[in-house]
Amino acid sequence: MTDTSRRSSLIGRNLLAGAEPDVAGDAGHDGHPPRVGFFTDTSVCIGCKACEVACKEWNAIPEDGLDFTGMSFDNTQGLDASSWRHVAFIEQSKPLGRAEAAVDHSDVDVLALAARGSGTPVAEAAITPTSPASSPSADGQTGLRWLMASDVCKHCTHAACLDVCPTGSLFRTEFGTVVVQDDICNGCGYCVAACPYGVIDVRPQDGGAHKCTLCYDRLGAGQEPACAKACPTDSIQFGPLDELRERAAARVEELHRVGVADARLYGHDPEDGVGGDGAFFLLLDEPEVYGLPPDPVVTTRDLPSMWRHAGAAALTLLGGVAAVFAAHGGMSGRRTGRWGR
Amino acid sequence: MSESDVTRDGIRGARPDRDALVGKGMGNGERRGRKGGKGRKGDQSMVPRAEFTSYYGRPVLNPPTWSARDVAGYLFLGGLAGAGSVLAAGAELTGRPVMARALKVSSVAALAGSTAALIHDLGRPERFVNMLRVFKPTSPMSVGSWLLMVYGPMAGAAAASDVARRLPRAGRAATVGAGLLGPAVASYTAVLAANTAIPAWHDGYREMPFVFIGSAATAASGMALLVSPVAENAPARGVAVLGTALENAAVKAMERRVGVVAETYREGRAGRLMRAAEALSAAGALGGALLGRRSRTAAALSGAALLAASVCTRFGVFHAGIRSAEDPKYTVLPQRERLDAQRQRPDAQRDRPQDG
């Protein structure tokens, strides 16, 4: 596609909402690489927080509080200016698929398993997250399931933070990701209020907004982001978005087949309220259980209507005041003495 | 075990059970039927109460980093300046020189105060000028910065010419220019607030500009009543009634629109501020209309009440927004209702209601 044809193709298109196949091209990048992102498969997350640590280390993010929350193993609490990966821990008294937590492992020789190393084929593993169990235990115990999910900036197709940034500090990279330029950000905080996922935040220490860059520096050097590199179970998968979507669809089908009926994708749909996420998830429960909004919508989708309503209100004020003054008329005899007394 | 059947098109049958109590918001969300909700044909009474869960009661959104004094103060002062310029132009053109001059000065003072508040609220105030690096229609803050860059000098020139009694023709041109830009200054701040993910602000985006315009008119007419002689204040009394009526009607309409989120405007600190605004504006408008033409004191008191009403409205709206961001209920519940309504429709199209 040539320059001119692409530019003219933008005319009349709504770039504020809906599916947008060439997000980097629409941002003005010519000959850009394919859009990349994360597929976070929470069904294999083990809650090790290696992603959190790798992110902090690589991006040199300062410490932001050492709290003990009592929220299972989650002391990070959420994404903010100094936490760009956040592992959520949810404890539920509910089995995972047909797996059963109360299964008897007394005959398993753990030392023999350990000697075999970590490369146990799935078929031979004593238990996997999707292991079928024969029947519930005699006492009806259903056990506990522990959901773990590593959350991150979604790098939305329609990124509200980027749309509302008044300085141009936030921008769309050639990889289709959204990055803050720290040397331009003036800390107005508009992006914080605009993000429908509660990702970006202002760091009190330096007054600037910060969030996941999808390791823009590493991408430029042909490296995958630090969190994906560090993830020991491939719960965090990095790659071209199209490929990730295919992989995710296959994975969710596989989970349904083995009885994990709760598995569903989140943020994968280009028709959703933010035009699809660059970082999407396979979840085992409703999004809000993980602290994610169930149906986020980019606020700027409604912006044309907002400007129209504001225009109508402005005209109402102008017309209303003019009408009031017209009704009361001029002060006769005062016209000439303009400067009054 | 879950009874539901999760397909790629959504959940069929019963929703998965919620026996794990995650978060303190669990199960206390009341479902409120929205009357005449757009595109919501689904019978609300079929679902007795909304299921709502959260992650340990933690907010879904990151609450704004804005300070109440700076941002709500900015909204008030911006409205006072913008609507004040409209009244000043009206007063000048109809031969009410004392009112015109006082409002021009108050607009410049309010503008200076609002700009100071805006800069003070930045995380890096020394980089304020970066606001003028780009012009972005998708960023109301960018649009507003440029608007103030045009409006500010005009309002300043209008006041300076009047006070110094020099260049009357240029002064009048600046007065009229500021009067024409004033409504934009007073109304863009509504888009500034509404163009966020904050439920109490975004969901009411249709009515918010009218709330803000009404509140701005209330403030400016209050200032006019406070500073004008009785002989000149007749239009100010009219604008006070107009502003009060507009503001209160728009607030009511907005509360109806936002459904369960309206709680944030009715309860707590925001609720007290909104009720105070209603009472003060009614008292000010009524007092001004009935007594303002006879008594200078009554007019001034009415004016002060109207100014206070506008302050209360702005802080009320601000605190309602903060509360709606801090409580996951106001993020999750409306979105869950929207999803459920989509699923209840036979052909579950993803047609979200656009504006109307």
The pLDDT tens digits of the residues spanning B82-118 come to 999 999 999 999 999 999 999 999 999 999 999 999 9
Measured between CB atoms, does A289 come within 8 Å of chain B? yes
- Greater confidence (A184 vs B353) lies with A184
Q: What's the first-to-final CA gap in chain A, in angstroms?
A: 70
Q: Does residue B195 contact residue B254 with C-beta atoms inside 8 Å? A: no
Report whether A151 contacts A293 (CB < 8 A).
Answer: no
What is the band of A206 on the pLDDT scale with cuts at 50, 70, 90? very high
Q: Name the strand (E) or helix (H) holding A279.
A: strand A279-283
Q: A96 falls in which pLDDT band (50, 70, 90)?
A: low
How confident is the model at residue A114, as a pLDDT? 76
Query: B335 vs A296: CB contact, 8 Å cut-off?
Result: yes
> What confidence tens digit (pLDDT) does each residue in A120-169 have?
666 666 666 565 554 445 555 556 788 999 999 999 999 999 999 999 99
Half-sphere exposure at residue A33, Cβ-oriented, CA atoms within 13 angstroms: 14
- In this predicted model, what pLDDT tens digit does every residue of B135-156 receive, in sequence order? 999 999 999 999 999 999 999 9
For B290-333, what is each residue's pLDDT tens digit? 999 999 999 999 999 999 999 999 999 999 999 999 999 999 99
Q: Tokens for B290, please give them.
A: 């009935």
Cβ contacts of B195 on chain A, cutoff 8 Å: 164, 194, 299-300, 302-303, 306
How far apart are the C-alpha atoms of B170 and B166, rounded to whole Å?
9
pLDDT at B208 over 50: yes
What ipTM does the predicted assembly reach? Answer: 0.84
Residues 6+ apart with CB under 8 A from B137: A307, B143
* DSSP 3-state of A152: strand
**Coil, strand or helix: which one is B220?**
helix
Is the pLDDT confidence value at A226 over 80? yes
End-to-end CA gap in chain B:
43
Give me chain A's average pLDDT, please: 87
CA–CA distance, B262 with B259 (Å, rounded to integer): 6
| Proportion of chain B above pLDDT 70, given as a percent | 83
Instruction: Give me the residue label for tokens 């003495």.
Output: A337
The torsion angle over the Cα atoms of residues A23, A26, A27 and A28, rounded to 10 degrees, is 130
B57 near A CB under 8 A:
no
Average pLDDT over residues A249-266: 93
Residues B247, B253, B258, B262, CA torsion sign: positive
Report the SS3 class of residue B163: helix
Contact B275, B309 (CB under 8 A): no
Judged by CB atoms closer than 8 Å, whether chains meet at A261 and B97 is answered as no
**Of A63-72, A163-172, A235-244, B34-43, the least confident:** B34-43
Mean pLDDT of A187-191: 97
At A109 the pLDDT is 81
Q: Which residues of A touch B96 (CB under 8 A)?
A: 331, 334
For residues B229-245, give the mean pLDDT: 96
DSSP A88: E
pLDDT, tens digit (0-9, with 9 covering 90-100), for A272-327: 999 999 999 999 999 999 999 999 999 999 999 999 999 999 999 999 999 999 99
From chain B, pick out residues whose CB is under 8 angstroms from the CB of A299.
Answer: 194-197, 202
Which residue, chain included where needed, has tokens 């440029």? Answer: B146
Residue B46 CA from chain centroid, whole number: 35
Look at A106 and A101; give whichever has higher pLDDT: A106
Q: What's the CA gap between A326 and B321, in Å, rounded?
A: 38
**Residues A275-284: pLDDT tens digits?**
999 999 999 9
Identify the pLDDT of residue A107.
79
Of A306, A86, A69, the residue nearest A201 (C-alpha): A86
A316 contact B CB<8A? yes
Please tell me if residue A79 touches chain B, with a CB cutoff of 8 Å.
yes
Residue B11 has pLDDT above 80, yes or no: no
- Provide mean pLDDT across the span B258-270: 96
Q: How far is CA B56 from the centre of its chain?
A: 31
Tell me the pLDDT of chain B averaged across its residues.
Answer: 87
Q: What is the dihedral of CA A296, A299, A301, A302, to 10 degrees?
A: 120
Contact residues for B302 (Cβ-Cβ < 8 A; gap 6+): B222, B225, B240, B283, B284, B285, B287, B288, B291, B292
Cβ neighbours, 10 Å, residue B256: 15
Give me the mean pLDDT over the A182-190 stretch.
Answer: 97
B296 contacts: CB under 8 Å, gap ≥ 6: B229, B230
On the question of pLDDT at A337 being above 60, the answer is no
Q: Which amino acid is at A240?
A: P
Q: Which of B277, B296, B155, B289 is nearest to B219 (CA)?
A: B277
Beta pairing partners, A283: A264
Q: Is A253 exposed, middle or buried (0-12, 13-18, 19+ CB in 10 A)?
A: exposed
Higher-confidence position of A59 and A106? A59
Residue B354 binned pLDDT confidence (cut-offs 50, 70, 90): very low
- Give residue A65's pLDDT band: very low, low, confident or very high (50, 70, 90): confident
Q: How far is CA B164 from CA A59, B20, B151, B158, in A?
A: 57, 72, 20, 10
Write out chain B residues lying below 8 Å of A341, CB-based.
97-98
Closest CA to B188 of B75, B71, B321: B75
Residue A64: pLDDT band (50, 70, 90) is confident
B84, closest residue in chain A (CA to CA): A321
Q: Residue with structure tokens 């000697």? A: A115
The length of chain B, given as a count of residues: 356
**Closest Cβ opposite residue B195 in set A77, A273, A306:** A306
CA–CA min distance A109, chain B (Å): 31
Of A186, A262, A313, the CB nearest to B2: A262
| Amino acid in position B4 | S
Find the DSSP H helices in chain B: 68-93, 97-120, 140-164, 168-194, 199-202, 208-227, 234-257, 263-266, 268-291, 296-326, 328-344
